[in-house]
Each structure stands twice: as C-alpha cells, then as structure tokens.
Amino acid sequence: MKNLLIALLICIGIAAQAAKPVPSDPKATAETIKLYQKMLKLQSKGMMFGHQDDLPYGTTWYDVEGRSDVREVCGDYPAIFGWELGHLELDHAYSIDSVKFSKISAWIKQMDQQGAINTISWHFHNPLTGGTAWDTSSKKTVAAMLPGGEKNKLYNQYLDKLATFMLGLKDNKGNYIPILFRPFHEHTGSWFWWGKDLCTVAEYKALWRYTVTYLRDTKNIHHLLYTYSTGSISTPEEYLERYPGDDLIDILAFDSYDGAKDFTTSLANNCKIVSKLGAEKGKISAVSEVGGHIAKNPQWWTNVLLETLRPYNMSYALVWRNAYKSTKEIAYAPEKGAVSAEDFVKFYNDPKTLFLKDIK
C-alpha cells in the first residue's frame, strides 16, 4: 500500500510538472524554461515596465556608467531592457542607434545578473537591395532570402553573425542568458521591407519558420523566446493573419504609439485581443513597444497608459528610447526634471507596475 501511495505521488508530481507551460523550443535551456514560466506567473501579478536603450544614453548624456533616466526619476531600473542589433549583419562595431555591440553584450550580462529581462530587436539591412530596414523599394526581398532565392546564402551569413552574438551571451556560471528575440515586427504595416505589402502571407510565415529553424537546428541556439509583434490591429483575424505557428512563437505582442484621438480605445482593443489569444494558446502577452507625447501630457503615465492597461494581463509594456541629442525623436521615458516625472513616480508606485526590484 505504501509503495502504491509513493508511486501515485510521483505520478502526480510528474503530471503537475508536465502541466507547466513550456517554450515553443523543445530543446529550450533550463534557464529559458524558468524565465518563460516566471514571466507567465508575473503576468498575473502585474505588468513589467521596459525601456529601450535605458543604459547606453539619454537625451542629454551618452555612455555614462550607471546612468539611467528611469532610475534617476523613480529610484529603480526597468524590469525589461530593450536592445537593438541592426548593423550587426554588416560587421559594424556600433548598432544603428550608435551603441557598441560589445557594450550591449556587457550590459545584457550585467542586468541579467541583477535579475532583469532582456529583449532584442533587429532592424537589419535589406538583403536584396542593400538598403536599410526601411527600404521598401522591392517586393521580392523576402522571397529572395528563402531557400532557392538569390539572397539565401547572404541571409544565412546574417544569421551566422546573429548566432555568434547570441551564443556569446553567458552568465557567470557559463549558462546561456535567456533572450526575448523580436524580429520582423510591425509587419502589419508596410514601412519595413518585411511589411504586409512587400511580401505574401506565405512568404512572411516561411521567413519566420526558416529563421527559427536555422537558429535552433543549424546554430544550436535554444535560449531564445521568440516574440511575434504586430502593429496596431482591429481584430483577432488581422492579428493572426501572418502568425507563423505555435511551435515557433512564445510571446504574443504588438506595438502601439499615441498619435490619434482614439489611442486609448485602440490600445485597449489590442490588449483585449492579444491577452485573450495569449491565454488560449498558453503564451505570454505583451505590449512590445508603446509611447506617447509625455512632454505634452504630463499625466500620460497614469491617465493614459496605466489606466488603459490596468484591466488586462499583459506581461510588460516597453517604451521606446530617449534618443541622444535628437532633433527628430521625442523622449519616450521620463527624465529628471521633466514635466511628466512626478506622474511617472505615481506610475512606478502603483501596485500594477513592476520594476526591477519587484521581479528579483
């Protein structure tokens, strides 16, 4: 009887373990599985705050060790750190945002050690035309990158360089650092060469499948959580039109910027759609990019962003960068002394929001 009871308890334990959600990669590292499950658990607790290029620069400073506009305002770092690898494929030392790749690698390791989560986007050059990610002059780029295409070999070389960077991300114990990887984002628009008017649905899905399979099987990379990230959408059908498959994707996300009168309505609708799909699929849900004119609306953090997102279980919301000495881009995160700084502190202190100290 005792042996039967022990066997039953073991079976229950195995079943409970098997019931836990796991990443799409069957060979995902233990650390990656742990992060995936942690993010899903945190998602029911609150919403993590993220910031693109939080450590490399602010609007008035560049590469000052330890500086962070977010930390200087609220006393804490973001929970999510966003990084960009555009120009890595060209063997440049610096990214398209003028950040040294060796520094990005070091910062990722530093913040991982402190308990933060790192997400990477990749605005890489158009393999067919040689132009930037915003070069939409050809509708043949994606087809050319796939097997049999004239730029497949070149794309493989791009992926090899990406793989070298990813495989260099190890913690002090020698384990690979889990990364949220978000390629081919905002594809529901047509401002990037992979956008909806620049390739067919089948081509876009094939590009995703080829990319993930190459990184997993050819390069043996198993510490990435793949993020599917649209622009603002209106229906579940629109969101899933180019979805490449549950076996490839871990995070369902979207990008949305405050530029219209109906922004809060649109943002709420996107959250409703994506969070519902995430729950149905057992995936993480997130707002992978968001931002507003905080200089024009000092209460944007609480009245717009927080109150709109509050009803939904979104893992995180990441605001874009505070471009250094830019005359073209606004600052998307608060700075010390900014008109929205006081409101951001209220945003920080709200139980709904999670920063680095909250997720350690």
Residues with catalytic roles: 186, 289
Using DSSP, state whether 15 is helix, strand or coil.
helix
DSSP state, residue 175 = P
Q: How far are the Cα atoms of 19, 179, 291, 329 from residue 332, in angstroms, in the given order?
A: 39, 23, 6, 9
Biggest distance spanned by C-alpha atoms of the chain:
76
**Which two structure tokens, joined as six digits, stand for 182?**
């978000």
Q: Which of 269, 219, 230, 221 is nearest to 252 (CA)?
A: 230
For 163-176, letters b (16+ CB in 10 Å) and e give bebbeebeeeeeeb
Q: How far are the Cα atoms of 151, 153, 221 from residue 148, in angstroms, in the given order?
A: 8, 9, 24
Cβ within 8 Å of residue 96, ≥6 positions away: 84, 86, 87, 123, 132
Rounded to 5 degrees, what angle do the CA atoms 150, 155, 159 make? 165
For 107-131, letters b (16+ CB in 10 Å) and e give bbbebbeeebbbbbbbbbbbbbbee
Q: Which of 77, 52, 98 is nearest to 289 (CA)?
A: 52
Burial of 102 (0-12, 13-18, 19+ CB in 10 A): exposed
